[in-house]
Amino acid sequence: MTRFSALVGTAGVCALTCLGTAHAATTEPTLGQAGDFIERDFHFSEGTTLPEIRIHYVTLGTPRRDAHGEIDNAVLLMHGTTGTGKAFLAPAMQRELFGPGEPLDTRRYFVVIPDGLGRGGSSKPSDGMHARFPHYGYGDVVEANHRLLVEGLNVHHLRLVLGTSMGGMQTWMWGERYPDMAAALMPISSQPIAMAGRNWLWRQMIVGAIRNDPGWKDGDYTVQPSQWTRVMPIFTIMTENPARMQSDAGDREKATKLYDSLVDKAQKTDANDVLYWFESSWDYDPAPQLSKIRARLLAVNFDDDLINATDLGVMQEAIRAVPNGAFVEMPESAHSYGHQTLAHPEVWKPYLVKLLSETSTSN
């Protein structure tokens, strides 16, 4: 059975309906700037300090300052586990989110898109430290993004924090750590509970395969290990809609070709980087501090998302602790892509419009 509901504070359950799709952008947004911010003396939560780390970022739009000289139109976007900030620069994202008249129209908002610590152009194990790189947690990724904003870009207030998957998980953490910094929070494809059950088991399949790969050599390999990549298709199994997979790989030959292509894709990634990606959720457990969140929060999940299974009833309980929180669980439909619905803003964009409208002031 599918559900399509939202729980607002502790008032109860009410139906949410689609708000309609905003008109398509007539032009593509322009890139504001790409850069690297060096953060000095970065203290990792596991106890290590590095003299510096690098956080790569892209911005769209132009900062707008209020009467006090403070930037008042900044938006932070945070990507998922295996991605980088480029996920938000995909054509669908640009068309549906950033163009003229769209929810995050870059003529109106200053959008900051970092590569999370450990990924893309930001500091990561494959830069040279390999397995000697500090074992960062999600809290470290959030802290690095916070320092980028405050120290690097002089942003002290956010109109919105929006994250997908891992970025959605970090959005919950952001609301707890910096309760007065953002007006609105939108975690997509995430749940505010510690890793356990199926969500932890499939991650351990990948982590264990890397650590037990004969070519891993405790992370000090000179040639990329490859045996672990045969397990990596579990990520696709967990994140894709099963009906779409059945359609795309409708016989054994097509399914085998899909498997081989996923293994080949995994072999183009660095094993240490991947290991750290999936181990870095070790410190994720926002549940005990949800009451610290002060911003308006609207969480969006999908009924066909195996990673954040809606049949666990997590959101119905957790949202009660968020003073100004609500959630929606979108039913499976012809427009569903499983966990990867996060990459289809045309599906969830109406809720972003709703959230921005509810928290609008002078924006």
* Residues with active-site annotation: 165, 305, 339
**Sign of torsion over alpha carbons 182, 30, 102, 352:** negative
Query: Is 329 in a helix, a strand, or coil?
Result: strand
Cα separations (Å) of 297 from 16, 105, 124, 305? Answer: 15, 21, 31, 20
Tokens 């450990």 belong to which residue? Answer: 118
Residue ranges with strand state E in 131-229: 160-164, 184-188
Query: What CA–CA distances, in Å, run from 240 to 18, 71, 189, 303, 304?
Result: 23, 38, 12, 12, 9
Q: Please answer whether residues 227 and 137 qualify as being in contact, where contact means their C-beta atoms are separated by less than 8 angstroms.
A: no
Can you tell me the distance from the alpha carbon of 71 to that of 82, in angstroms, rounded to the nearest whole number? Answer: 31
186 touches 162 (CB < 8 A): yes
For residues 135 and 152, what is the distance between their CA atoms, to the nearest angstrom? 24
Residue 43: helix, strand or coil by DSSP? Answer: strand
25 DSSP assignment: P
Burial of 80 (0-12, 13-18, 19+ CB in 10 A): buried
Smallest Cα–Cα separation from 349: which of 77, 109, 93, 91? 93
CB 266 within 8 A of CB 236: no
Rounded CA gap, 69 and 268, in Å?
46
